[in-house]
Amino acid sequence: MRQAAARPWLALFVLLLLAGCDRSPALPRLNPHDVIVAFGDSLTHGTGAAPETAYPAVLAGLTGRTVINAGVPGETTAEGLARLPGVLAEHKPRLVLLCLGGNDMLRRIPAAETETNLRLLVRTIRASGAELVLIGVPEPKVFGGAAPLYARLADELGVPLENTIFDKVLKDSRLKSDPIHANADGYRVVAERLAEFLRESGAL
């Protein structure tokens, strides 16, 4: 009788354990003076909208933190890898929002090369003492979501991953300035989702 009564509790424990496995890795809480660097390409730069409506600028207002826009239009992961150490040295961020890979896909750079570069980007950020969030970029396909390599890297390296927001925005014509860039409304949606993600991960 005792063994039978214990089984519902055991089942509940297993369910809770499995649910915990699906959760994104936690982030340390950001202090008010901590710097966030948004590192990426044109999606980070805010191409298609005014500078003050790019997602890093909007995110700064939503979080009350300094958010540096370190987005360079047209940049590939290899180019970002060369640029990253200087950005880290200049701004000394506590947190980096890493969003690269779209230009690799547009230029048909092999996915394995892109994945290797992103892995090195993650390791370079962590070696600097900063935490990071990896942001997935959708494949340039009509029905494509974020490229599978982002989820693989997040699982392999234990990196918090936001894998849906740019896919959602770039599939909504009301939120785009052109086929591959958001407009001001789209970047606000991205910023709002990232602020929510940071709260869910414990950073805010």
Q: In the chain, what are the domains?
A: 33-200 (3.40.50.1110)
Instruction: Note if 155 is an active site residue.
Output: no
Span 15-61, pLDDT tens digits: 444 444 445 678 999 999 999 999 999 999 999 999 999 999 999 99
**∠ CA 18-24-28, rounded to 5°:** 125
Mean pLDDT of 151-174: 96
Which residues does 87 contact at the CB level (< 8 Å), separation at least 6?
37, 39, 68, 70
Q: Which of 41, 42, 45, 104 is catalytic?
A: 42
Instruction: Note if 42 is an active site residue.
Output: yes
Instruction: Note if 91 is an active site residue.
Output: no
Q: What is the pLDDT of residue 25?
A: 77
Mean pLDDT of 9-14: 44
Structure tokens at 56: 């890093």
Burial pattern 68-102, b for ≥16 Cβ within 10 A else e, equals: bbbbbeebbbbbbbeebeebbeebebbbbbbbbbb
Q: What is the pLDDT of residue 23?
A: 54
Q: What is the pLDDT of residue 24?
A: 60
DSSP-derived secondary structure letter, 168: H
Tell whether the torsion through CA atoms of 30, 120, 99 and 143 is positive or negative.
negative
Whole-number average pLDDT of the chain: 90
